[in-house]
Amino acid sequence: MSESNKLIGNQYFENIFEEAVRKSKNGTGSIILLPGEAGFGKTYILNHYHQEHKKASKGVRAVYAEGQAPIGKFNVGNIQPLYPFTKSIEQLLEQGDITPEKRFAKNVGLTLLASIPLIDTVFYAVKEIGRDWRQFKNDKSSERAKKVSSATADYYDSIQSFADKMPILLLMDDMHWADSQSVELLGLLAENIESLSLIIVLSYRRSMLEAQNLPLHSFILNYQDFDNIMSVELDSFDKNQISELAAHYFPNYKPNTEFEEWIHEHSYGVPGVASEYLNYFKKYPPFLPDGSLATNFKGNEYLPSTVQSVFTQHLESLTEEERNILAVCSAEGREFTALVAAHLLNTDVLSAIRKLKSLQSKTGIIKSIGAEHRYGVKTTVFKFNQAFYHTYFENSLEYEEYTSLHGQIAAFLKMRFESADNDILRENIAPYLAAHSIESGDEETAKNMLLMSAKQAERYGSNEIMRQAYDSFSGMKQDEESDNLNKVEFYNMLSHFNSDKAGNASNEVKEDDNIFSDDEPEFKLFVKSITNDIIGQKYESAGEKAEIALQKTGGSLNQTESALLMTLLVKCYLSLHQTAKAEKILNNFQEIVKVSDDEQIECLLYNSSAQYHLYTGNMPKAYYFLDKSAALAPKLPQELKLLTLANIGQITKSSSPKKATEYMNAARRLSLNLGFSRLAEELN
């Protein structure tokens, strides 16, 4: 449609919206659902009300945000916790309602944040605002409203804090791409909307939700019938509205039935399509000087028969260089930045912006949407006006061009990722680097970035996003040892979350909480991660992993697996000088041995007991348990022989160095035979 603020054919929505504004000023909020397919005017309506209320001149403050569209085939929005709400709160923070960024950073003691762009401090700002709000309101805290993640609670309370000063209008476009934690926050807001001075308008494509079962689908199903939640279906235009729209494009327009019927017939009344036809006729007017329609209008063979042909005619005026620029920019996504465009075009940012603005003015195919925070910096963002244009230029790239451009973007982002001096900036870049790495075929980088994104989700308390990142990770080729260790890191994060969740909710162990379920790393990989930590002297990390496994698995481990974890845990506790904890584990260990006739378990207990008594200085008992272990070892698996040999070598080191060397050499040879090269190095 035209850039003017005039709305056509949406009086029903306008009435509902005005009533929602009136109620918000009296302390009662509303959520307006705005489903509609492409071209029905969702974005236009949201932009209209954003322009009308963003300066808060009418007593309501509006901010606009949208879900993150996929990059290539990868849905980057799925692994960005609370992305649309972060963008919304960023705008509220920039409007000067709280202390400036650097002063805020100083106040909360986070001096690191003073040098980070504002978008990367939103998470910490939200935590502070949420905490202050809870202290201020006390019994109205979100933490008592519903059990949600801590980040969701902080975001909820922050929104309350802003809305308490002035009613807030959150205009949220393309929310079919929203992440699961944003949907969790929407649910919390919906359940308490009656007491909030807040209006939320959510636009989404219903067909997309239902076809892909995206997170917002559950919100629609669960909350669409709640009080103060309304759904407005956007209708196609009738001929009268086509006439009104035509008058919007042509000065001194005289209603013309033949022209309006042609537009209605070819657009099917879809507002966006009708607007594209009218844009075409604005460039190639079909009217005579007196305002009447040219003779034989309908029979004119040059008239565009489809909206695609209208789009294509826009492209005919482009030079080869301009087509190439737009094709290059399309690789970054429907939205693209001056920063990356300059890198791909091998020019400086100012020159890139001049070229893009020239294209904007000449064609209207792209438009600047202003400066935003991307990749840890603030940069001008451009957007293809129609999805058709983005798809057209993206599809115009040959395979080699497509992968090469994504590879160049990934390399550029990787450089920024590696030069970032803190994890906040790296987390901001990771989802985009994952997406472009996937499209360029660099799965190794993509897997590392998915792990980083999962760590961000862990910080936000989003189990679902962690799992989505893990699912994407698991869908790639797994043939490296590092992949197995990364799987264990995923596993550890998910176990942490489930452990905290179980502790906060109840002691009931659900079937799907089994950390050794089929879709999680195997037990041996988990043990390998612990032993690698021990070899690297990361005893706290190793002990934490072993504790989680023993606490969470309940009866899902067999006795041998439990005994092995206890052995590793004793080693960690002794290395951390936590003698009492080691003794407690040994007592539990002995209870297992009493009811078991498994010699492997006995051997593990004897080795752990020998280690404990060596640490406490009781050498006779240390030798006693080593003798019992040595008697069993020859008929047990090689790993237990190795454990026993290494312990004998360590314990006899002070009393019989020569004998100890023989045992250590034997342990080293066995380590190499078993493929434990790192352990063999440690035994030198």
Per-residue model confidence as pLDDT tens digits over 2-60: 445 567 877 788 889 999 999 999 999 999 999 988 888 898 899 999 999 988 888 99
For residue 130, the model assigns a pLDDT of 72
* Cβ–Cβ under 8 Å, residues 539 and 576: yes
What pLDDT band is residue 266 in, cutting at 50, 70 and 90? confident
pLDDT at 54: 87
pLDDT of residue 233: 85
- pTM for this one? 0.70
Measured CA to CA in angstroms, residue 439 lies from 323, 339, 432 at distances of 22, 20, 11
Model pLDDT, residue 449: 93
147: DSSP letter: -
Q: What is the pLDDT of residue 211?
A: 77
**Whole-number pLDDT of residue 202:** 96
- Regarding whether 325 and 310 lie in a shared domain, the answer is no
Contacts by 611-618 with C-beta closer than 8 Å and gap 24+? 611/570, 611/571, 611/574, 611/647, 612/570, 612/574, 612/582, 612/583, 612/586, 614/650, 614/651, 615/574, 615/579, 615/582, 616/579
Nearest by Cα to 39 from 360, 267, 367, 330? 267
In sequence order, what are the beta bridge partners of 336? 382
Residue 523's pLDDT is: 67
Give mean pLDDT, residues 514-520: 38
Angle, nearest 10°, between helix axes 638-651 and 657-673? 160
Question: Last residue of a domain, which of 427, 458, 489?
Answer: 458
Q: Which domain holds residue 441?
A: 320-458
Q: How far is Cα 368 from Cα 380, in angstroms, rounded to an integer?
A: 7
Q: 369 or 667: whose pLDDT is higher?
A: 369
Pair (527, 550) in one structural domain: yes
Query: Is residue 217 scored above 80 in pLDDT?
Result: yes
Nearest Cα to 309, choosing from 392, 367, 398, 395?
392
217 & 341 share domain: no
71 versus 7: the higher-pLDDT residue is 71
CATH of the domain at 530: 1.25.40.10
Residue 98 has a pLDDT of 43
Does the residue 66 lie in any domain? Answer: yes
> Which of these three, 171, 201, 231, is where a domain ends?
231
Residue 84 has pLDDT above 80, yes or no: yes
% the chain with pLDDT above 70: 76
pLDDT, residue 539, reads 85
For residue range 433-446, what is the model confidence (pLDDT) as tens digits?
999 999 999 998 99
On whether both 195 and 73 belong to a single domain, the answer is yes
CA 276 vs CA 68, 246, 301, 309, 338: distances in Å? 25, 11, 19, 10, 27
The 3-state DSSP class for residue 80 equals coil
Distance separating alpha carbons of residues 462 and 82, to the nearest angstrom: 10
Tokens of 146: 């519903």
469 assigned to some structural domain: no
Dihedral in degrees, nearest 10, Cα atoms 626, 631, 632, 638: 80
Residue 131 and residue 159 in one domain: yes
Is 70 exceeded by the pLDDT of residue 323? yes
Same-domain check for residues 33 and 170: yes
HSE-up (13 A, CA, CB side) for residue 587: 6
pLDDT of residue 400: 95
Mean pLDDT of 87-113: 55
Considering the domain boundaries, does residue 651 fall inside one?
yes
* DSSP state string for 22-42: HHHHTT--EEEEEE--TTSSH
3-state SS, one letter per residue, for 489-537: HHHHHHHHHHHHHHHHHCCCCCHHHCCCCCCCCCHHHHHHHHHHHHHCC
Angle of helix 216-223 versus helix 180-191 axis, rounded to 10: 20
Judgement on whether residues 205 and 93 belong to the same structural domain of the protein: yes
**Average pLDDT of 610-637?**
80
Q: How confident is the model at residue 530 (pLDDT cuts 50, 70, 90)?
A: confident
Same domain, 519 and 665: yes
Task: Examine the pLDDT at 632 and tell me if it is beyond 90.
Answer: no
Question: Alpha-carbon distance 526 to 411, whole Å?
Answer: 32
575 and 654 both lie in a single domain: yes
Provide the number of structural domains found in the chain.
4
Do 446 and 490 reside in the same domain of the chain?
Answer: no
On the question of pLDDT at 492 being above 80, the answer is no
Q: Is the pLDDT of residue 343 over 90?
A: yes
pLDDT band, residue 326 (cuts 50/70/90): very high
In a domain, 79, yes or no: yes
Same-domain pairing of 157 and 16: yes
The answer to whether residue 475 is domain-embedded is: no
Domain boundary among 231, 252, 286: 231
**Whether 308 and 329 share a structural domain:** no
Residue 661, domain member (yes or no): yes
CB 199 within 8 A of CB 20: yes
**Which residues lie below 8 Å from residue 380, measured CB to CB, with a gap of 6+?**
337, 338, 353, 368, 370, 371
Q: pLDDT-derived band of residue 675, with 50, 70 and 90 as boundaries?
A: low
Measured between alpha carbons, how far is 513 from 490 in angstroms, rounded to an integer? 14
Domain presence at residue 473: no
Q: What would the pLDDT profile of 386-422 be if each residue is shown by its tens digit? A: 887 898 899 999 999 999 999 999 999 999 999 887 7
pLDDT at 19: 93
Tens of pLDDT, residues 467-486: 888 888 878 877 655 566 66
For residues 106-117, give the mean pLDDT. 37
Check which CATH number belongs to the domain holding 116 and give it.
3.40.50.300
